[in-house]
Amino acid sequence: MQQKWQLATQVIHAGREKNESGALVSPMCQSATFVFDSAEQGGARFAGEEQGYIYTRLGNPTTAELERKLAALEGSEAAAATASGMAAVSAALLANLSHGDHLVASNAVYGCTFSLMNSQLSKFGIEVSLVNFSDEAAIKSAIKANTKVIFCETPVNPHLDVYDLDMIARIAKQHNLVSVVDNTFMTPLLQQPIKHGIDIVIHSATKYLNGHGDVIAGVVCASHAQMEVIKFEVLKDVGAVMSPHDAWLILRGLKTLDVRLERHCHNAQNVAEYLAHHPKVAKVYYPGLKSHSGYRLLGRQMRRAGGVIAFELQASFAESIKFVDQLPLFSIAVSLGDAESLIQHPASMTHSPYSDEERSRAGISDSLLRISVGLESIEDIIQALETGLSQLP
């Protein structure tokens, strides 16, 4: 019966198992280790001959419930809860790349993902090529004999480019590559990359999945075969696993994901349309606008356009910073998906690891701003933007 549930129902019910106490809310298992009935049982569990918990770094009832729920929502066979979104990115890449391998990734990604690819992977002899994923020919031309993984975010952080998942999956299968997509901006309620043929989906669960700004966490969704390496080799040995308390908080947050996204998307659409007609705004990047290249994928790939907007001011670097500093209502913060509306300046914040030339190639200008539209009254959000824009020269 569960497989017939709509996503709005699954965020509440998927993955739950009856607990001994009969509690409506699943109890949090805040335990580091688990007691065996005998040494023989402990040996059997370590040998994989008996199912059961051993040590929370290897598995925990609370994190296991979250993993079952996220796998159900993404349509994957399994999932792994990680200590952060970057732990999820790292685990997916380290599970599939070795010395001498090559990675093809989109030329605009989250700043720390960019730093991981360009500063850390190179230490282990892994080559990285960054290309425009809107250009199918560019992706194909970047693939080499030693290419093993293809990676992108869509929509892209921070300028909201949208990439065709069917095209990316097709290229990956043609060249026997593992495809990895960061689905943080959309969540599985708005986009399910695995249904388009993508192999691995990752999330910063810090964002919309939790939705309350009080957790740092990540999730990897993939096949059972992938999860054997991701979870029981990479995460086990690196140790970047989620705590039971954080898993419990995300399970709580997920119950309202559907209704929160409805408000986020409604508010963001209205803000994008307002900004698109303002004389002091040079350009708005939001897939919900017909002028955006990603608009063609609404309905086919994305159910809604999400709650994040990027826009360029008719302003200098210094003027853009001043706008951020003086903007009422919005909190200056680099996350997204919280109840509060947030604003950040990518060039000086999330994408500061990029050089000026790299930022230019990625389309991140000095006046580009990113806002995560919150759950406040849309009238108050637009009034705050009007006040801030009116102070620009």
- Name the residues annotated as catalytic: 57, 110, 182, 207
CA angle 59, 151, 309 (to 5 degrees): 95
- The separation between CA 181 and the C-alpha centre of its own chain, rounded to angstroms, equals 8
Structural contact between residues 96 and 151, judged by C-beta atoms closer than 8 angstroms:
no
308-313 and 342-344 strand pairing: unpaired
Residues 6+ apart with CB under 8 A from 366: 316, 317, 320, 347
**Cβ atoms < 10 Å from Cβ of 8:** 13
Quote the CA–CA distance of 244 and 63 in Å, as a whole number.
6
Sheet holding 200-204, edge to edge: 78-82, 218-222, 200-204, 178-182, 147-153, 102-106, 127-131
Secondary structure letter of residue 376 according to DSSP: S
Sheet holding 281-285, edge to edge: 281-285, 308-313, 368-372, 342-344, 331-332
| 100: nearest Cα among 147, 31, 48 | 147
